Structure 1
């Protein structure tokens, strides 16, 4: 393709789009023209990329399209309707679409934790190699229960939220590397298994489960969701399917960002339960019941709201309108 001739033929279209972007206010007809010019220039960019990928020209048109995209949809996505759509459509749809990845991660972790606890209980000598008798006595009689009441509830909720958000961020951030994610998850459940086996061996099992389950069900579910999404991100570049490897990784990366943002809210709920319910004076059955209700609410959110959104075509990826147009072209 003759690049100079192509530029000469379409330069007026690009200049017109730029003039529209410089106007402070647009009439209805001009707003419609902005959208049409945006689509037109997107097609031109696609043609140039496939036939004559001049870096300077591609960068200029990409910048022009980004400004046009922000001008045409920026006000819409910043409204409360965007928040509602995220909570009702994008986030639950992402959870539902990737359900088998995080359910599989959850099942594997639960099984490994159970096996580790059983093995540790059957091999008490291992406990002596991990903790001194004084450490065990301190953990069983003071530290474990005292951990949930050593700070003011509001401060503790913030501390727990930040800590759990960091763990989920590690799961999502390290997911694309594969093996580091396995280590993060293993370290998380190994700590749980060791403490649980020590508490159960010293007849404090009821206290252990009574303090772990109220917040732990939702909290660990959030971690396993992050782990499952991280594994899906890793698999997207191992086996990209019918997309290019970069497209597959980009799609799952954007979905991972959606999940990360949504899990901030999930972890906020689990943090509030851990700060205000777990150490409360409520009977054990009531505290555990609250934890079960929170977990049931999350699963209902995924498999009712998420399934409905997924069937409507939502995937958890961002809107097509916010992505750079990729128009098929023939050279």
Structure 2
């Protein structure tokens, strides 16, 4: 393609990119001009490479080179801003969001931990009740996972040869799947989130009660206490995010249901961002710490207590400085 044709075809795009650059260079924060900027920047770089390859005039090459250099500066400037915003969300925005939605978080906690505690006590008193929630095959698998003679605690027999890295990936996918299921089912007017909070609570409580009865408490409780601080809290928060979607549909107030749902989703999606962070930490602990057999139970209980205290302190106190941005 001749240079004149090349310029005619792409001149308008270059001009639009230059206008976006000017807006970004004048702005100290991300703006609408930043949307899709990375794709446009890559296209400018492609055009520059073509101009070099085809031997177009230095006038065109220099102009494209200048656009590419300015684009590179803005791309990494705004990427660093996005990183700072993400850090501030973790340090302040997420715990403030949890506190702002304390009613839904409290209700979700009551459903999940209440059903877990009640079912655990019932199975502890009436052992056969476990089979109303968990199949005999699953009960046998759970017993083998927490057998004190196992080389690695908390792993099914077929997974005992897995590396910590593989188990880390497995735990992330498994836990995020449960959380997303609990969250997304809130679109069924909240009924789905209610169901999965109760179902997970009843199942975990039944397993805990049965394993304690069977004499595996010395392996089960030290295994779950550490990563459970992040994992169980994440399930509660995912349930709260789903209930917020459901409540927007049940009681939209003066808004249309679609608009109420859209507003609720903005908050719920941000909550799920924090849930994914919690589940990633939980998966790391489960793969690299919880399954280890060499630490004494007292050590694991001590670490677990500290982790529960850390989660509670983070959600209650982090981000309370009023000028800290979300």
Do both share a fold (TM > 0.5)? yes
Matches within 5 A, 1:131-150: 132=136, 139-140=142-143, 142-145=144-147, 146-148=153-155, 150=160
1: CA distance between counterparts of 2:251 and 2:227? 36
Counterpart in 1 of 2:314?
A: 301
Q: Is 1:204 aligned to residue 216 of structure 2?
A: yes
For structure 1, list consecutive stretches of 5 or more residues without a partner in the other structure. Answer: 1-17, 35-64, 317-331
TM-score, scaled to structure 2: 0.68
Spell out structure 1 runs of 4+ moving beyond 6 A: 18-21, 26-32, 68-71
Q: CA deviation at 1:289?
A: 2.4
Counterpart of 2:306 in 1: which secondary structure?
Answer: helix
Q: Is the 8 A contact 2:241 2:272 kept in 1?
A: no
**Higher RCO (CA-CA < 8 Å; seq separation 6+):** 1
Distance 1:215-1:88 versus aligned 2 partners, 3 A rule? closer
Counterparts of 1:98 and 1:227, CA distance in 2: 12
Q: Which residue number corresponds to residue 67 of structure 2?
A: none
Work out which of the residue numbers 233, 236, 239 in structure 2 matches 1:221.
Answer: 233
Cα displacement (A) at 1:220: 0.6
Matching residue of 1:260: 272
SS of residue paired to 2:291: coil
Alpha-carbon offset, residue 249 of structure 1? 1.7
8 A contact 2:123–2:206 mirrored in 1: yes
1:157 to 139, 157, 168: 168
Task: Name the counterpart of 2:305.
Answer: 292
Which of 232, 239, 242 is the equivalent residue of 1:230?
242
Taking the aligned partners of 1:157 and 1:206, their CA distance within structure 2 comes to 23
- Alpha carbons of structure 1 residues 23 and 221: separation in structure 2 relative to 1, 3 Å: closer
**Structure 2: runs of 5 or more not aligned:** 1-11, 38-73, 148-152
Q: 2:296 aligns with which of 283, 296, 307?
A: 283
User: What secondary structure, in the 3-state scheme, does the structure 1 residue paired with 2:285 have?
Assistant: helix
Cα distance 1:289–1:69, how it changes in 2: closer, same or farther (>3 A)? same
Counterpart contact for 2:187–2:245, Cα < 8 Å: yes
SS of structure 2 residue aligned to 1:24: helix
Alpha-carbon distance change, 273 to 195 in structure 1, aligned in 2, over 3 angstroms: same
CA distance in 2 between partners of 1:170 and 1:264 (Å) = 13
Matching residue of 2:123 = 120
Q: Using the TM superposition, give the Cα deviation of residue 227 of structure 1 relative to its aligned residue in structure 2, in angstroms.
A: 0.3
How many Å apart are 1:31 and its aligned residue? 6.9
1:214–1:242: structure 2 CA closer, same or farther, 3 Å change rule?
same
**Contact 2:194–2:243, Cα closer than 8 Å, also in 1:** no
**1:21 to 1:155, Cα distance in 2 relative to 1, 3 A:** same
The answer for the alignment partner of 1:15 in structure 2 is none
Alignment root-mean-square deviation, CA: 3.5
In 2: Cα distance, 1:301 partner to 1:22 partner:
45
Give matches, 1:1-331, under 5 Å.
22=16, 24-25=18-19, 76=78, 79=81, 80-127=83-130, 132=136, 139-140=142-143, 142-145=144-147, 146-148=153-155, 150=160, 151-177=162-188, 178-241=190-253, 243-280=255-292, 281-308=294-321, 311-312=322-323
